[in-house]
Amino acid sequence: MTQLAPHLTAFLRGHLPNERRASVHTCDAYAYSFQLLVTFAAQRLRKRPCLLQIEDIDVPMILSFLQHVEEVRGNKARSRNARLAAVKSFFRYLEHRVPAVLDQALRVHSIPMKKIDEALVASLSRAEVQALLDAPDRRTMSGIRDRAMLHLAFAGGLRVSELVGLALSQFDGRLPASIHIIGKGRRERVLPLWQETAAAIRAWIAVRPKDSDTTLFLNNAGRAMTRAGFEYILAKHAAAAAHVVPSLGTKPISPHVLRHSCAMHMLQATRDIRKVALWLGHATLQSTEIYLRADPAEKLEMLGALAPLGIKPGKFRPPDKLIAMLATG
C-alpha cells in the first residue's frame, strides 16, 4: 500500500507549477478537484483523509465520485470531465514514480469522458457591447477601474484568469500600446490595443493606489482583483446597461461571453479563423471552430456559392423589348 498524501502534495505543489508550468488557475482547479475526491473517499471508507492510500482511489471509487459530482452536487458533464481529467493527470504522474500502481493507472485511464452537447456560443451585438462599456461611472475610481477591465476583457478577448492575473508591468503604454498576456498552457502573446482601450487603462493607472499589489487591477481593499470580483462587476454593469439596451436583460452575461463576443466580431471583420485563433491564444484551430458554427455569415457564403442540386444556373431572359431595354440600360 502507498500513502496518497505525499504523492498528491508533490504533484500539486511541485509537478504542476514547476515541471508542467501550469497556470495558477489550473493548479487551483486541480487542487479543488482533489479536495472533493479525497473528502468523498474518506467519508466512503470512514478514514481520515491523510490516511488514504493510492490504492483506495481505484476505478469503482472514481466512478462513484463522478456519479456523486453529477447527481448530488448537480454539476454538468463538463465539470464531471474536468474532475476526471485532474485524476487522470495525477495517475500519469504516478506511472513513472510508483511502479506498483501502474496497472491501477491503466484502468483509471480507461474511464471514458462523457460526451457533452456543443451548444452555439453566446455573444453580444455591437450595441450591447457598447452599452456595457459605457455603463461604469467615470467620475469614480471604481468606475474608472471597471471601465478599463471591461474594455480590456472585450478588446483582448481575455480569459478571466488572464485578466485578473495581469501585472502592472504587462501593460506597455508606449504607442502603439499593447498588453503582454501569459495564457493557458503558459503560451505568451502580445496584443496591440485600441486607442480607447489603452486610454481606459491609462486612466485607471493614473488613479490606482501606488503603494499596493503589483497586480494591474485591484479591488476596493487594494488587493488583487479575483475572478468572483470581476464576475460581480460584470453582472452589476450588465444590469445597468440593460436599461439602455433591453436585449442584454435576456442574455446570460459572463466573462467568457465577452471573450466569445470579441472572437465573433473579429471573425466577421477578418473572415480568417487563423487570426482569431492567434488573437485568443488557442493552441489549435479546433478550439476556434466553434465560432464558425455560430457565425451565420459563413453559412450564407457557402449557400451563395452553391446552386441547388439538379438546377442548372440559368440566364435572365427579359419577357419583352421594354424590359430588355431597361435591363441593358
Q: Report, as residue numbers or ranges, the catalytic residues.
A: 159, 184, 256, 259, 282, 291
- Computed on alpha carbons and rounded to an integer, the radius of gyration of the chain in Å comes to 26
Pure H helices in the chain? 4-10, 24-45, 59-71, 77-95, 102-109, 126-134, 141-155, 160-164, 195-207, 227-241, 255-270, 273-280, 289-294, 296-305, 321-328
- The residue type found at 290 is I
Answer whether 248's CB lies under 8 Å from 242's CB.
Answer: yes
CB 108 within 8 A of CB 60: no
Provide CB contacts within 8 A for 260, sequence distance 6+: 121, 122, 123, 291
Q: Residue 26 to residues 57, 88, 161: CA-CA distances in angstroms? A: 22, 14, 10
Q: What's the rounded Cα separation, in Å, for the pair 199 and 148?
A: 8
Q: Which of 298, 290, 296 is nearest to 125 (CA)?
A: 296
At 91 the three-state DSSP class reads: helix
DSSP 302-324: HHHH-PPTT--------SSHHHH
Tell me whether the omega of the peptide bond preceding residue 176 falls within 30 degrees of 0, making it cis. yes
Listed residue (279, 257, 285) closest to 179, CA to CA: 279
Here the cell at position 262 is 470579441
Locus of grid cell 488583487: 224
